[in-house]
Structure 1
């Protein structure tokens, strides 16, 4: 399915598309040099919003689920990328243990089946070991479509983690550890744990990620000769907020107002007639929870009790005390008249595909990661749909999707910077 591109054929987004296509060799060389200096996250997914006048990542996930949304045409590239990633980390790897989220959602479990398939085709024995205390013996679950998944209880020895009669060289976390890092995963020194524990939402903060992304976008913008705002969402943050007790609301109001003022200034500079808005999110992982859209700072004072309760708690029941206030980016894409946003999937340093998140009941300025969303494959799922230089900007879906891949890789590079800066084992120099 090729989505309808509703963006106008003039304006900043198409100038950006043209600049990206014209600069393709320079862009690829720039990334190549960056990856010589920095290690990409093992796997990454990035939510992107195309407003028609700017294109920016709004969320970067280092424990991506949703691999079941990738089409069969995407799998060969995912397998090749998995091979490249494993080869760099543990070339002699034979056994891979995947540790999933503690959920029985069939949609999530189908994601595990797809991951298992990818790494099996990459030449590994793959089994799924659960840290859920309720899993005390192997459990096989039938899934829609006829597939099955088997969850087995984790076995921890003094120095290693595995399953009964299964000793892995590498452990792949597909659990973002929002509820905290369990002791069973700590002090593992003989095996490769991917991604590292400091990539989990119990440690990671969106504000640190977007600070790194701001640095990346400025350097990339300078190379391309563009305003980095065209690819970067502005942001502020508040570190001490209690929505239940209505504490820290002054900090929130002040920072929302300041950010809206900055966005209005940019809109005026580019002649954009849309009404600016910001998105307030929990600074640690949300999974679509703990999010609200604000168009006027006065809305904070008038926040209803129900809205405050929704904001007070994020994934795994974690209380929200730190928030990021992010420039809202409209979505200007549609599938069957429903608003849509692209999600780009990467393994190692390669774009392997992605999909559109679609929500028929949400507006162009609302969060689409919510109950009722559905998914449609991205057109660059097909390996034959390569960028087509010479096409009129805005007329070619593959060209637009190449640009999405560039933005996705910029966010992945920012995540690499972020992980280096927060690595507890990194040497610190004065």
Structure 2
């Protein structure tokens, strides 16, 4: 099934799509040169919003779950990309240890782990799953809703190497975003490749750092194509030392919200956009759609109810929120079967390998869709996945639209590579 898109087929997004399609050779060469200078994250996923007048990433995940939502047709691409990635890092790799999140009761998450295991097995590696969960004391097999099984084994550390009983891997793939910090078992490893590196975890990463790097990438890309970078870039501010529980730091938050709404209004006026601007306030680190609220007027922050304060105060693994990013809200103009939807693009190494729509029937066009009740519709195509089809009008071809999403996804991935260079404790700071 090809998702039914009801994105407006006229206006700036079509001009943007046309410009991107016409510039494909220039764009691909530009990316090729960038990847000669910078190392892509090992894998990533990017949430994108298509407002009809602008198209922008709103979140970049360096420990993506949800691989189980990709279609079987997308797996060969993922396997090829996995082969390329492993060849670059550890060509003689034979054993790969996959370290997942600790939540073993989320069967959909475990289906994602099983899919990753399958991808790397088909790429030619022995793949086993090592859990840091203290409840996993022996090899434990879980039956999954799709009829498959997955076996978790307790992680063992021996002489500065980690592995499993009778299993010594040269490569460790983390599918655990380290929100609660780095467990000692993962530190100071000897001659083992840890992917992604520890400083990619949410204990170090900040969304504001990522979007600062993305702003730089968007400016350079805008110059390359002769277009306003705002069309692909969400404006943002950040604010530290907020405490939602105690109500402190709210003045800083209000000032930044008001300033950003003013900037967005000016842009909307410039482009003749009649929508009401809004911003999204998010925890500056963390994931899972936690610690997020939509604000249309800074005065709303005067009267936050207890439920909203509690929701904003604590995120995954009980981490208290003190730093927030205030991000330009990007409407989503996509629908799948009349429900609001946003595309999510998946990448392995520097390659786009697939994607899906996150769909939420109970959310509005200006709300966060990464919330309980979301469903996932694969991006399925009759022909090859993300190759553009020359000759089609903009908006008339789903592959063309997905190629455009893939370009935005790769721009966010490039920004993540800049970001990781800047936070790498063992490297010179990227300027």
Q: Tell me if 1:95 matches 2:95.
A: yes
Moved more, 283-292 or 164-173: 283-292
Q: CA RMSD in A?
A: 1.2
- Offset, 1:371: 0.3
Q: Secondary structure at the match of 2:344?
A: strand
Name the residue aligned to 1:289: 290
Q: Tell me if 1:361 matches 2:362.
A: yes
Moved more, 157-166 or 13-22: 157-166
Q: How does 1:297-316 map to 2 (within 5 A)?
A: 297-316=298-317
- Offset, 1:380: 5.0
Contact 1:242 1:248 in 2 (8 A): yes
In structure 2, distance between residues paired with 1:332 and 1:112: 31
In structure 2, distance between residues paired with 1:109 and 1:293: 31
Name the residue aligned to 2:57: 57
Aligned residues: 430
TM-score w.r.t. the length of structure 2 is: 0.98
Q: Residues 203-226 of structure 1, C-alpha deviation per residue, up to 9 Å, x if partnerless?
A: 100000000000000000000001
Contact 1:379 1:398 in 2 (8 A): no
Contact 2:281 2:292 in 1 (8 A): yes
Q: Secondary structure at the match of 1:80?
A: helix
Contact 2:236 2:328 in 1 (8 A): yes
Name the residue aligned to 2:426: 425
- Offset, 1:429: 9.8
Task: Call closer, same or farther: CA 1:146–1:9 in 2, change over 3 Å.
Answer: closer
Q: Residues 26-58 of structure 1, C-alpha deviation per residue, up to 9 Å, x if partnerless?
A: 000000000000000000000000000000000
Contact 1:69 1:355 in 2 (8 A): yes
Contact 1:379 1:385 in 2 (8 A): no
Structure 2 gap ranges (5+): none
Q: Residues 357-380 of structure 1, C-alpha deviation per residue, up to 9 Å, x if partnerless?
A: 000000000000000000001145
Q: Secondary structure at the match of 1:5?
A: coil
Q: Residues 58-89 of structure 1, C-alpha deviation per residue, up to 9 Å, x if partnerless?
A: 00000000000010000000000000000000
- Offset, 1:4: 2.4
Q: How does 1:177-326 map to 2 (within 5 A)?
A: 177-326=178-327
Name the residue aligned to 1:81: 81
Q: Residues 165-191 of structure 1, C-alpha deviation per residue, up to 9 Å, x if partnerless?
A: 000000000000111110110101310
Contact 1:48 1:57 in 2 (8 A): yes
- Offset, 1:392: 1.6
In structure 1, distance between residues paired with 2:103 and 2:382: 28
In structure 2, distance between residues paired with 1:338 and 1:407: 23
Contact 2:74 2:385 in 1 (8 A): no
Q: Tell me if 1:375 matches 2:350.
A: no
Q: Secondary structure at the match of 2:253?
A: helix
In structure 1, distance between residues paired with 2:301 and 2:73: 46
Q: Residues 298-337 of structure 1, C-alpha deviation per residue, up to 9 Å, x if partnerless?
A: 0011111111011001111100000000000000000110
Q: Secondary structure at the match of 2:264?
A: helix
Structure 1 gap ranges (5+): none
- Offset, 1:99: 0.3
Contact 1:5 1:394 in 2 (8 A): no
Contact 2:7 2:335 in 1 (8 A): no
Task: Call closer, same or farther: CA 1:386–1:429 in 2, change over 3 Å.
Answer: closer
Contact 1:20 1:403 in 2 (8 A): yes
TM-score w.r.t. the length of structure 1 is: 0.98
Name the residue aligned to 1:35: 35
In structure 2, distance between residues paired with 1:382 and 1:345: 18
